[in-house]
Structure 1
Amino acid sequence: MSWCWEYNPDEAGVVAGAPLAFVAQIEKKADEIVRAAAALYLDGTTYRGPGERMKTADVDDGIFWYMIIPRDERVYILRVQAL
């Protein structure tokens, strides 16, 4: 398995109606979060510690909520809010 990010439950449900420039900012920031998670959890599939809590990330035009799930090697973007 390899680290990546995805929208949860799906892209249409999370970013529907958001401006394309805002979505691009979210996806760029999500790429950065994935790189950091991959460095922290070198082999996430064997991680047995406590799960992480939901976090937020600010971008120029808003904010988004996400969770890092080491065992899945995924960053799930759960909700976005454009200003």
Structure 2
Amino acid sequence: MSWKWEYAFGAEAAARTVPRDFLTAVERRADELVRAAEALHVHGRAHEGVDPGGGDIRVPGGMFRYRVVVRSERVYVVQITYLGL
């Protein structure tokens, strides 16, 4: 398995309602998070510790919240907030 990101919970539904340029910014940053997680957790499937958690990332027009699950080799986008700024 290799590292990927995906929408979780209501974020997938929210992704269908936001402008494309905002969504592109979210997806670009999620790709960066995947590359960072993959570099930091080379042996993700064998990870035995606590997951590092997640955080909030601001992008033009709003923000998104993510979680990293090392044993699944996934970065989950769990919330998208579009402010239209």
Common fold by TM > 0.5: yes
In 1, are the aligned partners of 2:11 and 2:77 still within 8 Å (CA)?
A: no
- Mapped partners of 2:8, 2:80: distance in 1: 11
Distance, in Å, in 1 between the alignment partners of 2:81 and 2:65 is 9
Q: CA deviation at 1:53?
A: 2.3
CA distance in 1: counterparts of 2:12 and 2:56, whole angstroms: 20
Deviation at 1:23, TM superposition (A): 0.4
Q: Are 2:75 and 1:71 aligned?
A: no
Unaligned runs of 5+ in 1: none
TM-score normalised per structure 1: 0.91
Structure 1 position 58, deviation (Å) = 1.1
- Taking only aligned residues, the RMSD between alpha carbons, in angstroms, comes to 1.4
Specify every segment of 5 or more residues in structure 2 that has no aligned partner in the other structure, as ranges.
none
Q: Which residue of 1 aligns with 2:81?
A: 81
TM-score normalized with structure 2 length: 0.89
> How far has the Cα of 1:10 moved from its partner?
6.7
Q: Percent identity?
A: 36
Counterpart in 2 of 1:56?
56
Q: Which has the higher helix share?
A: 1
Q: How many residues align?
A: 83
Residue 2 (1) aligns with residue 28 (2)? no
Structure 1 letter corresponding to 2:43: D
- For 2:19, the equivalent position in structure 1 comes to 19
